Structure 1
């Protein structure tokens, strides 16, 4: 399950829509919870905008220190992350993936993530991504 979550982040960061479609169920949702400019923000929607983008992504998102819980054909992955836009650090938070197992493979049913700043979250222990 952690490998699936890692692969989703790589696909998001590289704009690999085919991999995103393969790793998510058709009705998968994505959402964000956070505070920006003093305003609480909660958004939940479809994966469709992520799987229909054209061209490479403008950001690099990297997870680390993931944990997983599994019960039969349902799993949850809790993964801290940091995100860079180009070479600039943007924010960090936690990605929470819910996965389901169908036909012998794990796919993402939902991804809900926080958008935070240190000290509420941590940057990747390896430092900034390679340029």
Structure 2
């Protein structure tokens, strides 16, 4: 019986440590994405994105219409490459809620977006990741954008 308890403990410890390791790697993937986004480093961005990553954003117009916009990842890359030098984009992640199941992960990150050091909007990013040959890659990103209900003046 003691041997059974020992092996059960060993198995549970291994599972917990593997989960913690995946959570750390998933968070590092999201951090690398935003490092590339802030620095304008498309090579860094591409290193954590799957080819043909799907991008969507949601918002409500002033008239109250809910809008869903889908874009190719190439449009994001183009915006970053062509960003004028006098523009500073600063997306500040407020929290990470990471869920991992085997080779799939979901990350929920509330954020504030600052444009040239001025508050612009807030929202939530929802990332879907896939573990591709041992490396976490972003396969899908959808975000919300709003100016109301943010913790800013």
Question: What is the TM-score of this pair, normalised by structure 1?
Answer: 0.84
Greater C-alpha radius of gyration: 2
Q: Secondary structure at the match of 1:99?
A: strand
Query: Relative to total residues, which structure has the larger strand share, 1 or 2?
Result: 1
Structure with higher helix content:
2
Task: Give ranges in structure 1 of 5+ residues lacking alignment.
Answer: 124-131
Does residue 87 of structure 2 align to residue 60 of structure 1? no
Aligned position for 2:32: 7
Q: How many residues align?
A: 122
Indicate if the aligned counterparts of 1:2 and 1:67 stay in contact, CA closer than 8 A: no
Is 1:46 aligned to residue 72 of structure 2? yes
Please say if 1:95 is aligned against 2:125. Answer: yes
1:116 Cα deviation after fit: 1.4
User: Any idea what SS the aligned residue of 2:29 has?
Assistant: helix
Q: Which has the higher contact order (CA 8 A, sep 6+)?
A: 1
Q: Where does structure 1 differ by over 4 angstroms across 4 or more consecutive aligned residues?
A: none
- CA root-mean-square deviation: 1.7
Q: Contact (CA 8 Å) 1:10, 1:61: kept in 2 or not?
A: no
